[in-house]
Structure formats: structure tokens, C-alpha cells
Structure 1
Amino acid sequence: MKKLIITFSFFALNVNAQTWNLAGNSGTNPGNDFLGTTDNQPLIFKVNSAEKVKITTNGRLVFYNSNGITYSNNLYIGGGNEIPSNNAGGINWGNAAVGLGSMSANSTGNANTAFGFNSLASNTTGSGNIAFGINAMQNSVTASSNVALGTNVMAGFVNGEFNTAIGFQSLRAWGSNSNSTLSGNTALGKDALLNLNNGINNIALGYNIATNITSGNNNILIGTNINTFSNSPEKELNIGNWIIGNNGTIGIGQFTNQLPADGIAPDGERYKLFVKDGIKTEKVKVDIAANNGWADYVFQKDYKLMPLNELDQFINKNGHLPEVPTTEEAIKNGIELKEMNILLLKKVEELTLHVIEQQKRIETLEKKIK
């Protein structure tokens, strides 16, 4: 009888040990056969007797890293920290961190997405950020509503909002601090806005573009290997080094000096457009501001026409028509197209009056001869 009991016990133990075979199982029933717990406890996976992976009672997958366990309301895989979602400082929720070191300092920041080693590693209270890439927004602490895609993108960025950077170390902002203002900037391309530490509403699109800017606002740069005239530009435009601008003053062509922000040229006049190397066009229309801006006043009865003998004396003395700039003046100051056309029309009308007067004299002489 004793031998029978021992044999039965061994058989029962052997059957129990084979209920889940490491080499595979057949004939399982999902309703009865499973890996897991039957009480309200998480399922723990251990390596070398240490917890490494856990499925919580809420069904969330939690991975352990050097920062320990994560908690509910967030998805942390290889990232996150030990601060629970109901910590004393407030609730954090909607965060997703994938990658070792990612979002490891978060306390009350919400709705952040970090993907990549050390992405959003220093974030504590910032919310609504998307950081994809190794070290993306690594030093960001309180920044919110930013998008960073690429390795080292916004890596030195500490505080700011509504910035978008895509491309290797674009808008890296290394050296910025909590007092720096970075808002509404867009950087697309490798090294775009690399060193910008203070600035709002800047746009840089292209490879290695605007790397010299450390501070500046409302600048637009598009192209490759393009920098601004200074490290702190304001309202500057550069498209491919073909079209440039400064505070609404536009230039077309290669300029070695910055355009005047107020549009005032060396001749003292204000212009909106500066063009190098000429313009070729099929049509140009110039607006005339007032009626007295045209030259028809020459035909008024009270207009004083210079006598031909005085005109002859003036030409002999000066070598040009009255009111018309000299060659030296034209070369030095250029000519204003509208004013020159009006002046030329005036001279044509004066010449016409002289011709008419000469014709009257000729007709009078002809009558006397007859």
C-alpha cells in the first residue's frame, strides 16, 4: 500500500509538471490554459531573479530600465520613470516613451511622445511635445507643443513652444537656458538654425542653412549653405542667395552688403526693390501720382518757354539741356525712370512749341516774299 501511494504521488507530480511544456503544447483551451495570474496581481517576468518586464493589472506593458518601474496612464518602453501618474505634484497622462532614457525625468508633463534614446530625457512639466530620434529634445525641461524629428534635433533646447525642427541637429539650440525665448520657429534640413538660442517666428529650409544665427526674429531663409549678414538678424529674407530682403525691402541679385531696412538708398530716396544686372520685361507700367506730375503744363498759356538764343547759350556753357543731369551725375546717382520720362516729354513739348513758332515765322516770311 505504501509503495502504491509513492508511485501515485510521483505520477501526479509528473502530470502537473507537464501542464505547460517549454517545448510547446497542443490541445490547449484559451479559456483554461494561459500564462498569467488568477488574482488581481501583475504578471512579472524576471531575469536572474530580477524583475525586467511586467504586465500590470490594467493590461499595460511596463519595461524596466535604470529608472525603475513606470505607472498607469502612460506607455513607457525602456523609458519613463518611477513617478506615478497620481504623484503629489499632479497627474501626468497620455505620455508615450520608447527608448532607454527617454522621458526619464517627467513629473507632470502630459501628452508627450518620445521615441529614441534620451529623447525628452529632461522634460518635467512640458506637454504636447513630439520627439523622434536619438537625443531629440534631450535637454527640454518645460517646453510645450514642439515637434522634433531627427538625431540631436532641439537637443539643447530648454524652454519654448510651437517650434518645428526636422533634420539632423536642426534647431539644436545648444547653449540655450530657461530664460531663452524660442517660439514659432521652423527648421527643416540638416543643421538648419543650428545655433539659434533666442528667437521667434524664424523659418529656415535647406541644408546647412542659417547656422550663424544665435538670436533673431521673423527671418525667412531658403536654400543651401545660406547665412545671414549678421548673427542677430531681424526680418531678413534670403532665397537661394538670389532674392534677399530686409524688413520688406527686397533685392534681386548678389549683394555684398545688407539692404537698408528703411529702403533709403545712398541717393536719399526710398525704394522697395533693388535689382542687380538689369531687368528684361515685355511691359512696364508706372503710376503717376498727380495731374501736375505730367508735363502737359508746358502747353499752358502762362508757361515761360526759354528763348532759343538763351537755350543756345546754356548748351554752349554747360554741355547739356537745362534740368537734364550731366553724364557724371547720371553715373553717380542713376536716373529715376518716371522722372526722366516726364523730363524728356517736357523737352519734346518745349521743342514742339519752338517748331510751331518757327513754322509761323516761316509762313509770315513766305507771305512777305510773295
Structure 2
Amino acid sequence: MEGTGNSGSDFTIWGYNNTGNYLYSAFTIQRSNSYVGIGTAAPTSKLHVNGVQGAVIGKFTQSNIPTSDGYLNIQNGTSASGYFIPTIMGRAYVPGKPSGLYLIGEADDFVPVGSDTSYAAVMVDGRTKTGTRPANNNIFAVNTVGKNLLMVKADGSVGIGTSDTKGYRLAVNGSGIFTKVKVKSYSNWPDYVFDEKFTLPSLEEVNQYIRKNKHLPDMPAASEVEREGIDLGEINRRLVQKVEEQMLYIIQMNEDMQQLKERIKSLENRSK
């Protein structure tokens, strides 16, 4: 240990390791700035801990800690905002609050619902938080004033703009833009229309169906779309089938037209 004179040097605790090597950097307090170094003789911040590669740098342990108490508390020293307080149960902030990790810039007044206080493993929130949190077990949530921006739920489903995925893997409340959308492994693609066994309805049958139902056969009605939405893969399958059926009608009409031309030509030759 050394610390000599009014203009003396740094405060240092040193010693020897088990092999007899001198350890100068065991513990140091720099006189000029009061920086504390553990494992280093030249600390660069108020507390500078230098560990050995592959070893644990620090460990905090205590027995009989209440599950609601903060286990590690890091504050900025100026206000109640700007800190990280995980607990031994993975819940953050103060007793009964809902997140394992909470990044926040203002006071939090959320009240948990029932006995379930688990809201999200990681939550980023930028609003004034008052009222009651829903009792959910979500993995990740990003919110703003009164809105759910992004949520990954415990069942693996993702909600964008909504917390209710309605059983779908991805639920988006709003519009989206894509450079490419691919529906993979779609079975029963309508190439069967060109099979000789396929029965093509007559145009008269199609006409009667349209007059009665006000939409094409095997296509959803407007009321159904408004009520249930559209399955993009299925609606494209049906549209392709209609295009293929129309092609068969065109081919059939072309054959009829060619036969009609031949008959007209034959009649013209007879009249000469």
C-alpha cells in the first residue's frame, strides 16, 4: 500500500499471486480524479474493472432477497428516471411491475392484472404509463401512446399495430408494401382445367349463374369478402382457373368460327 505526501501518488493495494508474481494492479485509486481500478493500474472511469479473458469479471450475490426487490440498481443520480433494475425473478423496476427488462424515460404507474404480472420479457415504451396492463405473457413489446407498435407473443405469433393476432402467425393492423410475396407449396393448382376429364360449364350455364348470384361461379361474393377477407393463395388459384376456363372458351369459339368460315366458303363456291 502506498500514498505519500501532499502531492503524493495514487492509492494502491498490491501483492503477489500463488506463483510469486508481483500484482501491481490489484486495486488502485487515482489521486488526480478519484478513479477506482480493479485489476488495472490505469482506470479510465469512476469504476474500471479489468477481468481475465474467459473469467467472470464480477458477481453479485445475497441470500434471502425478496422476489420483488431490485437485484442490480444503476441510476444516473439526477432523478428517478434512467436506470435498470432487474430482480432475481426477472421482473424489473419496482415490486409487481410487468417486465423483465424495461427501458423507460419517465414515471411508471402501471397496475398488474390479477396474479399474472408478466407482460413482456423485453419492453420498450415511450409514453406516460397509467392505468391497467392486460395480463399477457409476451416475449417482446414496443409501444407508444395508446398503440401497440410491435409485439412478439409467447406462442410465437407477431402483431404489428395490434396485440390481437387472432390465431395467425403474423397479424398486421394497417397497410404494407412488399417487393415480392411468395406462397409456397400450394397444392391443387388448376392445371386440371386442361385435362380431358374436366367438365367445362357452358356459357349459358355461367350466364344463368351470374344473373342469379351476381358473381362468377366458384368465386367469393362481395359480402363474404367483406366479412371474412381474402386468402391470397386461394383467390389466386381461383383466378387462374377462371383465366384457364376463359382460354378454353376462346379456343372453342375460335374452332366454331373456323367451321363457320368453312361453311360460308363452301356456300360461296356453290353459288358460283
Would you say same fold, with TM above 0.5? yes
Q: Give 1:323 shift.
A: 1.6
Q: Equivalent pairs: percent with the same residue?
A: 26
Q: Give 1:144 shift.
A: 11
Give the 3 Å change call, closer, same or farther, for CA 322–346 of structure 1 in structure 2.
Answer: same
CA contact (8 A) 1:203 1:221 kept: yes
Work out whether 1:184 is the aligned partner of 2:184: no
Match of 1:246 in 2: 153
Match of 2:33 in 1: none
* TM-score normalised by the chain length of structure 1: 0.45
Aligned partners of 1:302 and 1:333: how far apart in 2?
A: 33
Deviation per CA, 1:81-108: give whole Å up to 9, x if none. Answer: xxxxxxxxxxxxxxxxxxxxxxxxxxxx
Aligned partners of 1:335 and 1:142: how far apart in 2?
A: 48
SS of residue paired to 2:140: strand
Match of 2:102 in 1: 204
1:159-170 equivalent positions in 2, closer than 5 A:
167=83, 170=85
Give the 3 Å change call, closer, same or farther, for CA 233–209 of structure 1 in structure 2.
Answer: farther
SS of residue paired to 2:73: strand
Report the number of matched residues: 195
Work out whether 1:259 is the aligned partner of 2:164: yes
What are the ranges of 5 or more consecutive residues in structure 2 without an aligned counterpart?
A: 5-58, 266-272
Match of 1:352 in 2: 247
Relative contact order, higher structure (CA 8 A, sep 6+): 2
Tell me which amino acid in the other structure corresponds to 2:150.
Answer: I
- RMSD (Å) for aligned C-alpha atoms: 3.6
Deviation per CA, 1:166-205: give whole Å up to 9, x if none. Answer: 728x56x8xxxxxxxx5234x4xxxxx44426x7x83322
SS of residue paired to 1:211: coil
- Select which of 263, 278, 299 maps to 2:175: 278
Give the 3 Å change call, closer, same or farther, for CA 317–219 of structure 1 in structure 2.
Answer: same
Deviation per CA, 1:198-217: give whole Å up to 9, x if none. Answer: x7x83322234683346226
Give the 3 Å change call, closer, same or farther, for CA 143–288 of structure 1 in structure 2.
Answer: closer
* TM-score normalised by the chain length of structure 2: 0.59
Aligned partners of 1:112 and 1:365: how far apart in 2?
A: 95
1:216-227 equivalent positions in 2, closer than 5 A:
216=118, 219-225=121-127
Aligned partners of 2:231 and 2:250: how far apart in 1?
A: 28
Aligned partners of 1:275 and 1:226: how far apart in 2?
A: 25
Give the 3 Å change call, closer, same or farther, for CA 329–183 of structure 1 in structure 2.
Answer: same
